[in-house]
């Protein structure tokens, strides 16, 4: 995740990815954690979703 342009300070969205729909993918109250390799992990109703930027 590139934060060199100040996105971490301004709150500007830098990347967005739909991970699923319906209540099974609800992460409304779960924190998003960034792993050492840049993978974003979010707890959802049925478990955990991992999201990576492969581009």
- List beta partners, residue 43: 48
Give the model's pLDDT for residue 1: 47
pLDDT digits over 2-55, tens only? 445 555 677 787 777 788 888 877 777 788 899 999 899 988 888 898 988 887
The Cα-based distances of 53 to 17, 24, 46 in angstroms read 9, 22, 22
Sheet holding 47-51, edge to edge: 32-34, 40-44, 47-51
């Amino acid at each position: 995740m590139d934060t060199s342009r100040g996105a971490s300070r301004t709150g500007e969205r830098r990347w967005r990815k739909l991970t699923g729909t319906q209540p099974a993918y609800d992460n409304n109250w779960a924190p998003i954690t960034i792993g050492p390799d840049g993978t974003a992990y979010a707890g959802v109703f049925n478990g955990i979703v991992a999201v990576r930027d492969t581009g």
